[in-house]
Amino acid sequence: MTTATWDPSLYLDFHDHRSRPFHDLLARVGAVSPRTVVDLGCGPGHLTGLLAARWPGATVTALDSSAEMVASARERGVDASLADVADWMPTAETDVVVTNAVLQWVPTHRTLLPRWIGAFPVGGWFAMQVPGNFAAPSHALVREVAAEPRWRDALQLRAELAVAEPDAYGELLASTGADVDVWETTYLQRLTGADPVLRWISGTALRPVRDALDPAGYAEFQDELAPRLRAAYPVRPDGSTWFPFRRIFAVARVR
Ligand SMILES: C[S@@+](CC[C@H](N)C(=O)[O-])C[C@H]1O[C@@H](n2cnc3c(N)ncnc32)[C@H](O)[C@@H]1O
């Protein structure tokens, strides 16, 4: 279970950009009238509402391991509860499960997938999306700064890849006998404003850094990181910054 704390309002910054993969993922789920739909790692619940809109006859539930996120989702009227996805299992009525931008925080997720698929009812749908940008400068530069003598004792950031490549998800899910649909997309996000990539990752990848440092140390870390991000993602003459954003998708239909 991740120990990172989450800030719903910071995460909702870039809401439009961040939600695009959710729509693309959902478009490949063909369930017609599911009984129960579950949003695993629902965050602030702003996307869970789309599940209820798509399947108005379904019981839509959600869970998240962050108390702040669960509170935020409940304020939106989502039936969210505090739980770790690692402890979750489908029931005989779980016809659709969506988990969007969550499993990268769950290092054991590749052992969970076949267990979940095995417990789904026949015809159930499992849909996941994870970032494929661990090696991108936005993340590599965070690790680079964290490894410097000034920070390395305080920061023990994950060095190994938590996320697999698309073919590994394809193999894993197909080995359960499910029909599988796997793809990847690199969105070219056009961001604006000062230090937009720093702002973007402060809502996600920088959470463990913020948790490990005091406010002054975190500000200093950001001051160190910002010029490196500016060099990796230069601002264009019109003030915009292109930010490639690779995502990995997998949908399985249980047979
Ligand atoms: C990047 S947000 C994604 C939120 C939402 N699914 C979305 O697409 O906007 C990641 C969420 O995963 C949750 N999370 C991380 N590890 C988790 C775990 N082990 N169990 C449940 N939720 C977890 C975090 O609390 C956070 O709300």
- Residues 222-242 have pLDDT tens digits of 999 999 999 999 999 999 999
Segment 183-202, tens digit of pLDDT: 999 999 999 999 999 999 99
- Residue to mutate, 22, 89, 102, 111, ligand 1, most ligand atoms under 8 Å from C-beta: 102
Distance between Cα 44 and ligand 1 center (Å)? 9
Distance between Cα 45 and ligand 1 center (Å)? 10
CA dihedral 146, 65, 36, 78 (to 10 degrees): -100
- The model carries a pTM of 0.88
User: What pLDDT was estimated at residue 78?
Assistant: 96
Beta carbon of 41 within 6 Å of any ligand 1 atom: yes
Segment 68-109, tens digit of pLDDT: 999 999 999 999 999 999 999 999 999 999 999 999 989 999
CB–CB of 1/102 below 8 Å? no
Beta carbon of 106 within 6 Å of any ligand 1 atom: yes
CB–CB of 95/124 below 8 Å? yes
| pLDDT over threshold 90, residue 152 | no
- Residue to mutate, 65, 87, 106, ligand 1, most ligand atoms under 8 Å from C-beta: 65
Per-residue 3-state assignment (H helix, E strand, C coil) for 202-250? HCCCCHHHHHHCCHHHHHHHHHHHHHHHHHHCCCCCCCEEEEEEEEEEE
User: What pLDDT was estimated at residue 4?
Assistant: 66
Can you name the residues that pair with 184 across neighbouring β-strands? 248
Which pLDDT band holds residue 203 (cuts at 50, 70, 90)?
confident
- Residue to mutate, 103, 105, 116, 130, ligand 1, most ligand atoms under 8 Å from C-beta: 105
Beta carbon of 84 within 6 Å of any ligand 1 atom: yes
Distance between Cα 39 and ligand 1 center (Å)? 10
Segment 108-134, tens digit of pLDDT: 999 999 999 999 999 999 999 999 998
Distance between Cα 103 and ligand 1 center (Å)? 8
Cβ contacts of residue 251 below 8 Å, gap of 6+? 25, 28, 29, 125, 126, 127, 128, 180, 181, 182
| pLDDT over threshold 50, residue 1 | no
Distance between Cα 235 and ligand 1 center (Å)? 30
At 64, give phi and psi (nearest 5°): -160, 150
